[in-house]
Structure 1
Amino acid sequence: MKRSDLIPVMLLLPVLGFVAVQAMHTRAITATTQAASLAPASRVHKKHSASHTMESAASIGESSDDNSTLDYDVDMKTRDVIDIRRRIQLGENGTYIGEILGERDSALARWPERLTTPVRVWVGSGPEIAGWDPSYPERVRDAFDQWANLGIPVKFTFVRDSTDADVHVSWIDHFDSPISGKTIWARDGKWWIVTANITLALHHNAGELLDSKAVRAIALHEVGHLLGLDHTADTANIMTARVRVRDLSEADRATMKLLYSLPPGSVK
């Protein structure tokens, strides 16, 4: 059984004016060829705390039926790393691809081509949660559409049955810590993303209700992570660690397009 790389992304809640979301990652990395877990890491800085475990990776990292990752394998022996680096250098102006490589130890992760078999997304509802707005699911679907409309080779289709989905979006009242969203995606050994979960909170842990505009902004950020983006230092972008904007920037768009023009995996 293949094991996958499980990456959670957690966002802090709105402050100042519209919305400010602080993100921190907890990365759980499992070996793809052996059962033993990697040694715990102590790398901690202002955006990340990293620990290496095997737990839960297998249950979320499997791909099945017509979306088997076997269809997407890249022959690493023929993978031209020098050409990939050249393409990054040619296209990196106006993007933050370099920051992503820095966060991922010079590796890129993304979904395989999913135009003919779109990624199946289930968006749940939370009417039992105080403050629930029926417009919230539509805001989330719009966030997926905003990224897909960039022309990347990934489309999304929304399904009613959660058991049919590759991606699940669910809701909670609040997180115990001051975060408002969490994204977990799993990859195979070739760095193809194969499945993902997003959890969104309706309230800050101090009790403040998020309005629909804040939910959409947070969803845009989370779907960016789901598609393979990491953080950028520039606060003008939706993928900054503290989200202060409502829409995708030109750098967000350019970075996503560049990411999906490149094969996944290490560029070392």
Structure 2
Amino acid sequence: MTARYCSLAQQPAPVFAPGLAAERLGALLSGRRMWVNGTALHYCFFDGEDDGSVIPVPGSGGTRWVSWVGDERQRDVVRDCFRAWAGLGIGVSFAEVGDRSEAELRIGFQQGDGSWSAVGRDALAAGLAERTMNFGWDLTAPGERATALHEIGHALGMQHEHQSPFAGIHWDDEAVYADLAGPPNHWSRDRTYFNILRKLDPAEVNGSVWDPHSVMEYPFSAGLILEPEQFRGGVHPSGELSPLDKEFVLRWYPPAAASARPALVPFRSVPLSLGPGEQADFTVEQRETREYTFGTFGESDAVVVVFEERDGEPRFLAGRDDGGAPGNATIRARLVKGRRYVVRVRLYSGWGSGQTAVMCW
């Protein structure tokens, strides 16, 4: 029996300025969807009577309105899977909130719309009334907990494992198209190509080797894969976080260091000695309430995010990504006297002579 598969929305390929060095381009592709480490991701569940949308009815040509609201048993599976990822000790935390305006991740349970998630920071582009994640079938059924683990992996920035160019998979393309066109998925050829047959750029994938045991790997039945020979009988991941899943997510989001963060003082630049993918964090406690500007300097691609600490956790205030752009990131944000803020700078890549630096003014 064909499994139900996660179906990511088709997105246009990123556009970068022509002539970027291969190393710089690879760093941008690798990190452009990843959160800065130390981010607290807040999630909410849609629960209103009007929360829902119209979806097509497969095979009928008609449509119907279906709610996004899930029952408490479905929500508990998702909560448990957030705890499973957090339990690895990663530097990203999760907190459930009741107000969708405070949530980066907004979760629905619309039956018939498939299971999917925005990948990493792509979630920030969705409107407050839009889902960033959906579960389209019963998560309490045997084996379906893996679906929730899988979608949260996408929310952390992870991609489909079987689309890795390092897998060396030679598909029977027409068999794949035929299999996915039928129940329970009812996918078009375009959707099947985008989510299964399309190869990702080597810089986008979760690691330098294929992990058939990954929670980001689909299970496949026999007859779809021609090569490697040992997988002609199918691919059967366990549905749990594999050792390589854990290694990848801890590499991008290492446990928060216990050392104190240095202060970022107005009009005083701080040099940044960062390698690709590395991050520097600073505290900001201003003596007056006004609008401040935060900026990076030097030849680099970086992400700069300002958080306000509320109730002991960081809340996103403003952010800027200058990846691939000729200039540096600058952010304007109103800071209030007596409140505590955190500035995080994550480097994609740096080049040229001299150091990069960050300053507020």
- TM-score normalized by structure 1? 0.51
Q: Out of 80, 87, 92, which is 1:149 matched to?
A: 87
CA contact 2:120–2:154 (8 Å) conserved in 1: no
Q: Which residue of 2 aligns with 1:109?
A: 33
| SS at 2:161 equivalent | coil
CA contact 1:159–1:165 (8 Å) conserved in 2: yes
CA contact 1:143–1:219 (8 Å) conserved in 2: yes
| Aligned residue type for 1:183 | S
1:119: how far off?
1.6
Q: Out of 136, 139, 147, which is 1:201 matched to?
A: 136
CA contact 2:121–2:157 (8 Å) conserved in 1: no
Alignment of 1:92-107 (within 5 A): 105-107=29-31
| Greater C-alpha Rg | 2
CA gap of 1:255–1:141, structure 2 versus 1, over 3 A, is same
1:25: how far off?
5.4
Q: Out of 249, 260, 263, which is 2:253 matched to?
A: 260
| SS at 2:79 equivalent | helix
- TM-score normalized by structure 2? 0.39
Q: Does 1:122 align with 2:51?
A: no
Task: Name which structure has the greater RCO, CA cutoff 8 Å, separation 6+.
Answer: 1
CA gap of 1:212–1:135, structure 2 versus 1, over 3 A, is farther
Q: CA RMSD in A?
A: 4.1
Aligned equivalents of 2:125 and 2:88: distance in 1?
A: 21
CA contact 1:110–1:228 (8 Å) conserved in 2: yes
1:125: how far off?
4.9
| Aligned residue type for 2:35 | W
Aligned equivalents of 1:129 and 1:213: distance in 2?
A: 24
**1 or 2, which has the higher helix percentage?**
1
Q: Which residue of 1 aligns with 2:118?
A: 184
| SS at 2:109 equivalent | strand
Q: Does 1:247 align with 2:240?
A: yes
CA gap of 1:113–1:199, structure 2 versus 1, over 3 A, is same
1:244: how far off?
4.2
Aligned equivalents of 1:137 and 1:20: distance in 2?
A: 19
- 1:86-112 Cα shifts (integer Å, max 9, x gaps): xxxxxxxxxxxxxxx79x855553111
| Aligned residue type for 2:43 | V
Q: Which residue of 1 aligns with 2:230?
A: none
1:172: how far off?
0.6
Aligned length: 171
Q: Out of 135, 156, 159, which is 1:230 matched to?
A: 159
Structure 2: tracts of 5 or more residues without a match: 18-22, 50-65, 127-131, 163-210, 220-235, 255-276, 279-345, 351-361
| Aligned residue type for 2:239 | R
Residue identity (%): 23
